[in-house]
Structure 1
Amino acid sequence: MAGIIANIDDLLKYIETSASADFSLYKPSVTMAIRRFLIPVLGIEQYAVLTDAMDAEGDLSEDLEDLLNLAQEAVANLAMALAVSRLSATLGQEGAIRVESGSNKTAFQYQEINLREAYIMAGYDALDAMLAHLESKPTHYAAWATSSAYKDYKKYFIQSGLKFSDLYDIRQARYTYLAIRPIMRQVEDFDIKTTTGKKLFKALKEAILTDTVSAHYQTLLDDYICPAVALLTMARAVFTKAVDVTDYGVSTNLNLANNNSQQKQPANALQIDKAYQQLQADGSKYLSDLAEELANNPGDYPDYEPPVDDNATFKLVNKQENSFLVV
């Protein structure tokens, strides 16, 4: 099985480097990028279909050619993100040695960080574009549509960084999306499922997985559930500092603090508190509207079962100032 990037010319289609560069220096990072980033998204089955077609005689089909271009773009950039640090030093008997020559010096640390961040963003953007392409033609990529990678993609109501950014703008969309997925799961389990009831929640998940979402279900997803998930996820993410709020917007911090890196100006505590309160209020309004829609239109949602009052003798209410959360 050949790799999808086999030589320096394949890299030059997507990154800026010398045509005379030795590809063997980049190959370990390319292999790692395929294993770590591409295959979990594309699925080993669809990756095998692609590489087998590349090995066979004749031209690729138009569908596989489109997929190859997006996959190569993602791998090329993510491989360079891995290679930036690996190639700035060599490892010998004396330990790590900085690579310099009379006319060339190693980049400053902030330059290295910025370069790596640019490659990461470009690579993840390409992965999101690849997922959007696959989803637009699932019957053309049957190996992906029947894979565990597809099931993972369809696991949540909001399936990609691009879709999340349509509801709430996040920088470094896919990178940030992956960071907040655990929080998104909490919102789905503790907020959405409580509002829809377990039966309707399960029916919605099954419809998404099998691509059989009805018009009424789509209304729930588009008008209530997905906006609520996005806003409540960001509220928790801001509050728990899973994301950074800076003058650039909301994103995941790619960098560790260091003495010579360029740092974005962080928001102060008051700004973070205001962001949390607004996100929580807006997300809760979507939840309230969802509950109202379900209660007022039971015929449209036969799987909906109204919540039963548990008649608890007391309730603990989560507040921002609490030192713990009740779930």
Structure 2
Amino acid sequence: MLFNTVEEVKESLGTMHANVNPKTLLSFVSQAEQLHLVPMLGEGLVEQLGNLPAVNAPAHLVQLRQRLRSALAYYVVLEAAPFISVAFGELGMSEQSTDKAAPSRQWVYNNFVEAAAAAGDKLLDLALAWLDAHAADYADELDSPEYRSRKSLLIASAEELGKYVATAGSRRFFLALLPTLRQVEDFEISDLLGEDLLEQLREGLASGEAPSAETRQLLGLVRPVLAHRAIAQGVLTMNVALTGTSLRLLSDNEAVRQRLAATPEALSALSQTASATATKYQAKLAAYLDALTPTAPPVSVELHDNAGKPSFWV
């Protein structure tokens, strides 16, 4: 595990009570790793970071572990909070209290777990962004088929997605949307560009070579269509909060989701707006493609029949 002692947890979360029982706290560390870190990093890398030797550990892995510990400390709190004040035994559930302390009031508890979820999410995003920026130093750890396959995607990073959609560059949001990005690219973008042209773009991106001016222009027209189309489809099934400036992917915590998640009506409106924006960008792309091949049939921008449908699709 990334944490093996209470002292290590306190290095990342200094307000941890001095009398906390190590066995009680550490029982939640593995759960928090599996729920919050493994989906973002993979089982192998999380296990490797948790098994680093006490001395002479590779410096680049120690640095990454420390950044992830900052986020993991809050996720441990998030997973422990609903259970740590109660005990379960042969007599059922009992609530713990002492003469000097009483269980927290509900609003205090709600603020506590929401703040922990927000802090954990933000710190994990920062750690993942840092890992992306230093990916060359972690070539062996990140050398997996999944990681390599992303290099050929038309939108292959949270930073690229954030240029077109208000996600604040969230790596967690990008990874959650990744299956939808693949689907839109495989079906809708493929229909627009044709299999051959799409494959040329993918091969060029996977090679790592600098694209030509013409390729950059084409990508600049394709990527907005892909981003907004993926948002229009993916956001309807995601647990997100609508903040003043961006979308925030919520932690996998039922109570936090219930209080902060955007309503189905708000998500439907967001999906409609994204669909309309994608259609506008698609018209620009179609005009560009028609100009490239003036003798070919025009590339049309068609709208589906939305009459009587509960949600809007393009």
TM-score of the superposition, structure 1-length normalised? 0.72
Does the aligned pair in 2 maintain the 1:247–1:265 contact within 8 Å? no
Judged with a 3 Å threshold, the aligned counterparts in structure 2 of structure 1 residues 149 and 44 are, in CA distance, closer, same or farther, namely farther
Tell me what 1:6 maps to. 4
Question: Residue type of the partner of 1:13?
Answer: E
Q: How many residues align?
A: 307
Q: Which residue of 2 aligns with 1:36?
A: 35
Between the aligned residues of both structures, percent identity stands at 22
Cα distance in 2 between the residues matched to 1:98 and 1:213: 62
Q: Is the 8 A contact 1:88 1:99 kept in 2?
A: yes
**Matched residue, 1:302:** none
Contact 1:12-1:19 within 8 A present in 2 as well: no
Residue equivalent to 1:25: 24
The runs of 5 or more residues in structure 1 that have no matched partner are: 299-305
* Structure-2 separation of matches of 1:103 and 1:297: 77
Matches of 2:159 and 2:193 in 1, distance apart? Answer: 25
Partner of 1:55: 53
Flag the 1:219–1:251 CA change in 2: closer, same or farther, 3 A. same
In structure 2, the partner of 1:71 is 68
Amino acid paired to 2:25: Y
Say which is worse superposed, 248-257 or 116-125, in terms of deviation. 248-257
Q: 1:127 to 1:246 in 2, by over 3 A?
A: closer
Query: Does 2:219 align with 1:232?
Result: no
Normalised by the size of structure 2, how large is the TM-score? 0.75
- The separation in 2 between residues aligned to 1:88 and 1:156, in whole angstroms, is 46
Q: 2:189 maps to what in 1?
A: 192
Structure 2 CA distance for partners of 1:289 and 1:276, relative to 1, 3 Å:
same
Quote the offset at 1:127 in angstroms: 2.8
Residue 286 (1) aligns with residue 281 (2): yes
Change in Cα spacing, 1:69 to 1:252, as seen in structure 2 (3 Å) is: closer
Greater relative CO (CA pairs within 8 A, separation 6+): 1
Give the conservation status (yes or no) of the 8 Å contact 1:80–1:119.
yes
Q: How does 1:170-319 map to 2 (within 5 A)?
A: 170=167, 173=170, 176-177=173-174, 180-209=177-206, 211-212=208-209, 214-215=211-212, 216-221=214-219, 223-236=220-233, 240=236, 242=238, 248=244, 250-251=247-248, 275-297=270-292, 317-319=304-306
Any unmatched runs of 5+ in structure 2? none
State the shift of 1:26 in Å: 1.6
1:116 to 1:66, Cα distance in 2 relative to 1, 3 A:
same
- Determine the C-alpha separation between the residues in 2 that align with 1:206 and 1:172: 25
